[in-house]
A and B are shown apart, each in its own frame.
Chain A
Amino acid sequence: MKKIVKIAAGAGFSSDRILPAQDLAERADIHYLVFECLAERTIALAQREKQSHPELGYNEWLEDRMLACLAPCHRRGITIITNMGAANPQAAGAKIAEVARRLGLRGLKIAVVTGDDVLDACKAVDYPLMERSATLSSLGATIVSANAYTGSEAVVAALRMGADVIVTGRIADPSLFLAPLIHEFDWDPEDWDLIGKGIHMGHLLECSAHATGGYFADPGFKDVPDPARIGFPIAEVEADGSFIVTKLPGSGGMVTPRTLKEQTLYEVHDPAHYPTADCVADFSQVQFEQIAADRVRVTGAQGHPRPECFKVSVGYVDSYIGEGQIGYCGPNALARAQLALEMVRQRLIDAGVEATEDRFELIGVNAVRRGVRIAPVFEPEEVLIRVACRTADMRMARRVGHEVEALWLNGPAGGGGARRSANEVLAIVSVLIPRELVRTVVDYLES
């Protein structure tokens, strides 16, 4: 048994940077490189893509990441774990095998984890929605996907079979990082305190640079060294669940109690009661000790029995959003921008565009505050107008940006840089389903 298991983050979201992962694959003394690439909606969008292109539906950066990391990981004995399979883990596994062969890597064992797709189970029972007092049937025929946040179990099974690369669909983010600990240290999956510590480690790493000075810099208050080259975090975990968070020497960023506090609390709601697929974690008593530069010792997380149900993200077609922007600059820019907003407002009424919700706002003045004017009003050097409307169909959504773009010839003086978009809104609601309805399956491919 290894005394210390070393795990690094290779990605913290679907479009995360690739060079820091490559740096880890080439230089870091690690056993596992974990790429977490699925946000709430990513898998629903991927499902949409798979519907029109059955060979796709996995992470768009999978090939680039594998080209950058597969050879050094293979050479140095680093196991890759990733949820880049999204809506199509089988196709992702085939793509990884193809990249491996292209790189001359033979005999690579690739595990493909499926079973998180629970669309059929969600069609069989009309589960209540977590977000509002309604049930799945209120979404009618608009549902396009349903994926359960499964736990570490299938990844542990694949590790026990000696997989070199494990690719999954939806798995709870920290569970991807927890699985190697259960495997290497032979942890009892119902030793809740140990699992809680593993989940804390996973939670700290699952957003990659969030732990190492990314999304942190506030010049003069929170300065980050060499911020352009922030390295991704590494955890060195002992069998008792205590661990050190660090990063590669020579990479940018930093690891301090402050960076780790921000990530510990990130998106957990009640820090003493954070439900995950593997346990209900308690981060309220965690402790951080800076033992050397960019090395922080972490202890104190606890755990309680896991929830009886898995959370399921259900993707459905909610509505359409049409949007347009155009900019004004120089003397009287604010007045011209406000005039432009009023003109578009009138023109959308005249065009019969029915919006169930709308925004008429000024980027640089009040857009982040959602159109609410903040006093005192200043005269900006430049300002962008933004019009966004929710509509019932694509045709009306397109008219919104169309009227903004038409300000080129029909608006106030000096408008520039018009752009528009119109999109189907694939939204997410959540339901809880009994764990026993979800059966994960592991298949193996070889390069």
Chain B
Amino acid sequence: MILHDIAHARAGDKGNISDISVIAYEPEDYEFLRLYVTSERVRAHFGSMVKGRVERFEVPALAALKFVLHDALEGGVTRTLNLDIHGKSLSSSLLAMTLPDRHRSDLR
């Protein structure tokens, strides 16, 4: 199973910081996300693309996690050489993260 099966995401940017929201489709999946989508796993997922620290904020009221990836945009939208200058595609890229399989008939 991948994160895309149970969550949606949107990425934004402020300077050289990427800001990614991960939101469970179903509130009951929030605890599962909290357990498996950790700052460490997000950092490992992006590897060398993220050069600074990864912060995680928990938002149980919205069944959501917020990741703040420092020094992740090669200088940020105004000066980066990246094709995706805002790092908008990092949201979809994160949704490819693999998660432990669970037996669920009502996926998504």
Contact residues on B (Cβ < 8 Å of other chain), bracket: 35 or more
Question: In the complex, what's the smallest C-beta–C-beta distance from A69 to chain B, in angstroms?
Answer: 27
B79 an interface residue at 8 Å Cβ cutoff?
yes
Known contacts A131-B15, A319-B79; decide if A266 and B21 are in contact (CB<8 Å).
yes
- Give chain B interface residues in 52-71, CB to chain A under 8 Å: 55, 57, 59, 61-62, 64, 66, 68
Q: Which residues of A contact B81 (CB under 8 A)?
A: 321, 357-359, 388-390
Contact of A264 among B16, B62, B74, B89 (CB under 8 A): B62
- Give chain B interface residues in 33-58, CB to chain A under 8 Å: 47-49, 55, 57
- Give chain A interface residues in 224-282, CB to chain B under 8 Å: 258, 261-272
A361 an interface residue at 8 Å Cβ cutoff?
yes
A119 an interface residue at 8 Å Cβ cutoff?
no
Report whether over half of chain A's contact residues are helix, strand or loop; otherwise say mixed: mixed
Q: Which residues of A contact B83 (CB under 8 A)?
A: 359, 361, 363, 367-368, 370, 386, 388
Contact residues on A (Cβ < 8 Å of other chain), bracket: 35 or more
Cross-chain contact B15 with A271 (CB below 8 angstroms): no
Within the assembled complex, what's the spacing in Å between the Cα atoms of A388 and B89? 19
- Give chain B interface residues in 70-96, CB to chain A under 8 Å: 74-79, 81-84, 89, 93
Cross-chain contact A368 with B13 (CB below 8 angstroms): no
Contact of A258 among B17, B23, B49, B108 (CB under 8 A): B23
Within the assembled complex, what's the spacing in Å between the Cα atoms of A221 and B89? 17
Within the assembled complex, what's the spacing in Å between the Cα atoms of A44 and B16? 17
Cross-chain contact A271 with B84 (CB below 8 angstroms): no
Cross-chain contact B59 with A284 (CB below 8 angstroms): yes
Residues in chain B within 8 A of chain A (CB atoms): 4, 8, 10, 12-17, 19, 21, 23, 25, 47-49, 55, 57, 59, 61-62, 64, 66, 68, 74-79, 81-84, 89, 93, 108
Residues in chain A within 8 A of chain B (CB atoms): 40-41, 44, 130-131, 215, 218, 221-222, 258, 261-272, 284-287, 300, 318-319, 321, 357-359, 361, 363, 367-370, 372, 386, 388-390, 425-430
